[in-house]
Every structure is written in C-alpha cells, then in structure tokens.
Amino acid sequence: MEPTLHTGAVLVTDTSVRVRDISATGAQLETPIYLPIGTIGMIEVEFDRARRVEWFRVCRIHTTQACSGAHLAAVEFLPIAAADDRSLRGAVRRFVARDAHLLIP
C-alpha cells in the first residue's frame, strides 16, 4: 500500500459585496453568495480616498428574500497585524475620531 500525501490548500474566490454598516471592529456585508459562519476572508475597499484591506471572520449570516436574494453577513475584523496605513480598521478609527465632534452625545 502506497502512502497517501495530504497537503493543505486554500480556496480563493473573488466576489463583490456591499458594505451596509461598518465600525472599527467589524461590518455588515451584503453578498450574493452564502458565507458560512467561521469563513475567513479579506475585504478590499476604497475608503477615505485610499484602498484599504482587512481580514475578517463571519460571525453571523442571514439570508433574505426566502433564499433567493442576498445574504447579510456580520463580520468581525481580525487584528492579525497592527492597523497601518492600508488598514480599514485604522481608517475607520481615524475617521470616527476626526469627526467625533459631529456626533450628537
């Protein structure tokens, strides 16, 4: 019997999402495909006149319109690296801090 070689692999898919809500710790994404809870992904968006990227994990998923419509995914951002200039987390934090005087207490 020959030994079987098992190797790890990563499946990468590219899909458009709509950011419905965002904070420095996570976001709500609308997506045409179902993302199971625990799915790890990377989001890249144009925010504050720059491209921002962030790793995330799906915490909750809700299917709208009786499984024929969009899926709403609640995601948490993963602080794998410090929030740098390309980080979406850092950009949202700076945006909120800069515009905090506009918020009504």
Residue 3 lies in a domain: no
Q: Tell me: the pLDDT tens digits for 19-75?
A: 999 988 999 999 999 999 999 999 998 877 888 889 999 999 998 776 567 899 999
User: For residue 41, what is the enclosing H or E element?
Assistant: strand 40-47
Answer whether residue 96 is part of any domain.
Answer: yes
User: Is there a domain that residue 6 lies in?
Assistant: no
Q: Is the pLDDT of residue 8 over 80?
A: no
CA angle centred on 29, ends 90 and 58, rounded to 5°: 80
pLDDT band (50, 70, 90) for residue 11: confident
Residue 7 lies inside a defined structural domain of this protein: no
- Domain span including residue 56: 18-102
Number of domains observed in the structure of the chain: 1
**Residue 104's pLDDT band (cuts 50, 70, 90):** very low
Average pLDDT over residues 76-98: 80
**CB–CB of 44/52 below 8 Å?**
yes
